[in-house]
Structure 1
Amino acid sequence: MAGTSLRTLTLLSLLGARRVWPLRELADRLGTSTRTVRRDLDTLRELGYPVTTLHGPGGGYRLGSGHTLPPLLFDHDQALAIAVALQTAPGTIAGLGDDAARALATLEQAMPETVRTSMESLRLTRLRNYWEFSAPPIDPEALTVVGTAVRQRRELVVEILRPDGTRSAPADADFSAGRRVEPHHLVVWAGRWYLVAHDRADQEWRVLRVDRLRAHPTTAGFGPRELPGADIAGFVMSSHDRGDTPADWQCTGSARLDLPAHVVARWAPGGSVVEHLDDRHCRLTLGAWSWAGIAGILASFDCDLDELHPPELARAAGGIAERLRIAADQGASTSTPS
């Protein structure tokens, strides 16, 4: 019985995906006989699905006009998982952007209103980072609160938590005294979730780590605002004060770079910290699997740097420099005409 039900649902899905299906092609797709397909088609008709038979050389079967699939049986958490997966999958598998968007739209149309609302709350922007290091998991409830506020254009009262998830304020402090922000965009970058918000207190734009927020929804609405800079991608990637802290790596080190903070922030690995020093310099703190790994990432910025810390990082940088010098000398000698 389970196999029959699954085959019938697959048949329904095929009929909904194309206008006309020849009987033999349906049988081939289902891996069964034409007689079984006819029986399954009769089952669908008994369930109320308007399956129409078309006669002639181009004939076959199709769903009647005006038919829509029944609501899908997804609960809130499943809908949240689907919304996140379909929007983040194109970042790891090439060529899926349009397909994933169409799949998400199709699922939303077939879902009940309450579940569809949950999915629509997580309309996000995913930006690419060339160093896709792992990020800590995020609480689905936090995503739902923030995503709903973005979609409904409702202000949030937020409290920024410490990196370990504890509150900065005393446990009995009045939460309403937190920062009041207008949540405009939900963004995924380098495996981390960020909220682009406008701070009502100082009228400044902020990029806030969602997993570092304790957010409380309000009923106060807000209107659209002109984004800072050219686009949302540039603003998020070039903001050095995103609330990031170094990821948990075997080795963690830092250096002062002869580049502005907003330039380094755009290309720094996820889970690194960029500290603004002045208009021309910043300090980058990051982790890797080895000291040589950190030194290699620092060298990729192609700028002068100093103040390497700890000493293990400085020694690793010296070792790499020496190996590269030897390799460069050998390359120069082999290219010199004899």
Structure 2
Amino acid sequence: MADEEARGTTERVLTLLGLLQQRRVWTGDELADRLGVTPRTVRRDVERLRAIGYPVRAEHGIGGGYQLGPGQELPPLLFDDEEAIATAVALLAGTGAASTGDAALRALTKLDRVLPTRLRHEVRALSGSVESFGGGRAPVDPEVLMTLARACRDEVEAGFEYPSKEGTGRRRVEPHRLVASDRRWYLLAYDLDRADWRTFRLDRMAEVTARTWRFRPRADAPDAAAFVQRGVAGGAYRRQARFLVRAPAATVRTQVSANAAMVVEVDATTCEIHSGADNLDVVLMYVAALGHAFRVLEPPDLATRAEELAARLTAAVQP
């Protein structure tokens, strides 16, 4: 019985640690509700974390609560200084890889919670010596990534200079999620001045800062990956197109770049392709070259263009 109680306490304390890593500040009542215990038990569990080296701070008053701050030393049984630096630099390098970027950034954001100040300077200096070659994403300042990742995590406003048709100007946003494609990093955020959701490329940002002003997450937040992909694949173009393709979505996704089109599953053997271009003939030829039977769903004039193309191709093989 005692072993079961100890195991339950350990699991609860680990859950508490995970919650403290997810958000900048929690009230005692919020933690008690999440853990299903009393505020008194939360206080005891906080003391258990402090006893093993986790710097949990408690602040009173409006906006106060429990928060996990950077410590004077790394928590026991995790890393010594050299291991922490090596891990952080490796994660910084991993944020540029198409296959591991998201996971590396999530891990780096968690590590940032407990990385002592004295080590952060060394990590920044060493990260400058890490490069990659070949494909991959457009280069992004690791400090920009970390600033925005923290802002998403802590639910605080962010600001940055960003170019537009009217010229470069300051944008104030409530950051929601960082999204990585195989080419670039994007931020999905609620633009406070335009009162709408917007996608921003990190490599176009300058003077990125996070404020201390917290916001409540919006209930109408869209699915981040889908929202960004729709914008990247077609939203920026003058014309949009939609096709019904007689092939499984999983098969078509291996043929189509996520930056070129969005593949939506219809059923086990059929999917839709959504894409855009200034000249839809380019998209039509792209879909035809995939090698699957397909039908133009919209726009209507593109179906007419498909008929004309079919007639020209048929004429090309006639004697």
Compute the TM-score of the two structures, normalised by the length of structure 1.
0.41
